[in-house]
Amino acid sequence: MQKKWWHQAVIYQIYPKSFRDTNGDGIGDLQGIISKLDYLDYLGITAIWLSPVYQSPMDDNGYDISDYEAIAHEFGSMADMEMLLTEARRRGIRIIMDLVVNHTSDEHAWFIEAKANPSSPEREYYIWRDEPNALDSIFGGSAWEYDDASGQYYLHFFGKKQPDLNWENPVLRQKIYDMMNFWIDKGIAGFRMDVIDMIGKIPDRLIANNGPKLHDYLKEMHSQTLCGKDLLTVGETWGATPDIAKQYSRQENHELSMVFQFEHIGLQHEEGKDKWSYTDLDVPRLKSILSKWQTDLGVTEGWNSLFWNNHDLPRVLSIWGNSGVYREKSAKALAILLHLMRGTPYIYQGEEIGMTNYPFENLDQINDLESLHFAKEASTKGVSQEAILDAIRVVGRDNARTPMQWDNTENAGFSNGKPWLAVNPNYKTINVAKALADKSSIFYTYKALVNLRKTQDWLVEADYEILTTADKVFAYLRKNEEKTYLVVVNLSDESQSFSSRYDMVSEVIANRPYPKTLKKVDLEPWGAFCVEVE
Ligand code: TEU
Ligand code: CA
């Protein structure tokens, strides 16, 4: 394996709309991000994954792009974007852009032309059929929308305002590569690729993900844009198995640096059902899934990404940790567990201070397209309002999207105006200012983990081995030729015990006092530690 900068990187995801508002319109902006670069620098992160900041009608908060080479006016201007790149570079922070090329907005000039003029070349950039088939939109309902003017249907795997692009069209593909090069030339450090495993779709055969030409397209994209540039690319691939992930991320394949796999996230809901059928965490299954990914990808065959959160997922503390009495303890435990595995860790804004889900009480508080579609469909099927709200409170996407909590002043220091989405009422106790002032806060555990990632080679190279323990204890070894490290985490609200044959050599990180012996350790709820052993 050729060592790359992103093997020792930690990436911080920013959802711009909710990070920091500087002009009082209640919407986060690029100047807001610039104003917080010193904070991110202090945390120590290597790069920022910026959720979309391109021009957009914001039906899906920027995942519906109407101009790939312009900045959304809500967020600022191209000059602000250039300033962000410069200011970030000055602090050694790289910027990774979100690349949303499975679909555009219906307000993109291509789609406007395609609709207005069925004989235009742009018509072929999208997918039109005389009759709809059985394909469903991921947000609910049919994936086909009727267009009166031409009497044809267009495909949209997401919202109606997100028509799917036709990757079979070589002219369209070239336009996308040119656009990517426009951003690469501006000095960005890579791309997070939105639902990239859908670009090889074959609608007529009901194939959405992992279509037959997907990897050909990615290789072509690589040769036209990424080749020789040392950029980080991470694909969002809901359908990836370890074998598929190797195909994307094996270096000789010249496709992507890594992918986000979601197999562990699947444990948030009942097997075979949709995300709204939320369920309690099955710790033994979490152990086996994460361990499988650790061992199967190895170092030479592929590369993992490591994450608990993103802008589509509930706050991990609320779903798998403990957002009450053990909030601090469980946040640190989950962080230690994940960040000492092999792969590139991602931190989602607010995770580093232990932000939690929002106590939504009615649908007027919801902005998310997916949640609103679900509420509509579920109530037609007779599901009660209470059950709908329960599901949204547990897994709805707006939980991750409430404004970042900076301090205990009005609106959590996010904005002087009315925030576009309500601030979590717990901002007086959970905020950055408070976390920074307390050396034992969650923030400093994250800061220490980020620093370990940058300085400890074993985190990249050492092999992984799971240990047999009590069901709710997750313990693993990282071993290289010289050294062995032991990570032990109690993933429960109850005390657990852990025993091993190891002796402790030195301390690495913990959310509790280090044990005196490893022969038998009494682990309090959410206790976690890592030590070097022999
Ligand atoms: O998400 C892809 C996707 O499949 C999600 O819709 C996911 O299934 C769901 O959100 C889980 O709750 C990406 C983006 O991350 C998401 O924000 C966009 O809405 C979507 O693509 C369309 O661009
Ligand atoms: Ca603003």
Residue nearest to atom 20 of ligand 1 (CA): 63
Is 260:297 a contact under the CB 8 Å cutoff? no
How much distance in Å is there from the Cα of 411 to the middle of ligand 2?
Answer: 14
Using the atom order of ligand 1, give the atom closest to the CA of residue 238.
4
Confirm whether 386 is a catalytic residue.
no
Q: What is the average pLDDT score of the chain?
A: 97
Ligand nearest to the CA of 30: 2
How much distance in Å is there from the Cα of 39 to the middle of ligand 1?
Answer: 28
Strand order in the sheet with 504-510: 463-466, 473-479, 484-490, 528-533, 504-510
Element (H, E) at 174: helix 170-185
Is 531:486 a contact under the CB 8 Å cutoff? yes
Ligand nearest to the CA of 398: 1
Is 400:310 a contact under the CB 8 Å cutoff? yes
pTM of the full predicted structure?
Answer: 0.98
> Does ligand 1 lie within 6 Å of residue 138's CB atom?
yes
pLDDT of residue 472: 98
How much distance in Å is there from the Cα of 440 to the middle of ligand 2?
Answer: 33
- Summarised one tens digit per residue, pLDDT across range 391-445 is 999 999 999 999 999 999 999 999 999 999 999 999 999 999 999 999 999 999 9
How much distance in Å is there from the Cα of 229 to the middle of ligand 2?
Answer: 33
Task: Using CA atoms of 33, 34, 39, 45 in order, give the dihedral in degrees to the nearest 10.
Answer: 80
- Summarised one tens digit per residue, pLDDT across range 248-299 is 999 999 999 999 999 999 999 999 999 999 999 999 999 999 999 999 997 7
Mutate to test the pocket of ligand 1, among 97, 102, 158, 199 (most ligand atoms within 8 A of CB): 158
Helix (H, G, I), strand (E, B) or coil at 88: helix
Choose among 51, 53, 85, 47: nearest CA to 69: 53
- Summarised one tens digit per residue, pLDDT across range 62-119 is 999 999 999 999 999 999 999 999 999 999 999 999 999 999 999 999 999 999 999 9
Which entry of 106, 145, 164, 194 is annotated as an active-site residue? 194
Residue nearest to atom 8 of ligand 1 (CA): 138
Confirm whether 398 is a catalytic residue.
no
Neighbours of 438 (CB within 10 A): 11
> Does ligand 1 lie within 6 Å of residue 374's CB atom?
no
Percent of the chain with pLDDT strictly greater than 70: 100
Q: Is the pLDDT of residue 40 over 80?
A: yes
Q: DSSP strand E in 281-365: where? A: 305-306, 344-348
How much distance in Å is there from the Cα of 311 to the middle of ligand 1?
Answer: 9
Ligand nearest to the CA of 74: 2
What pLDDT band is residue 1 in, cutting at 50, 70 and 90? confident
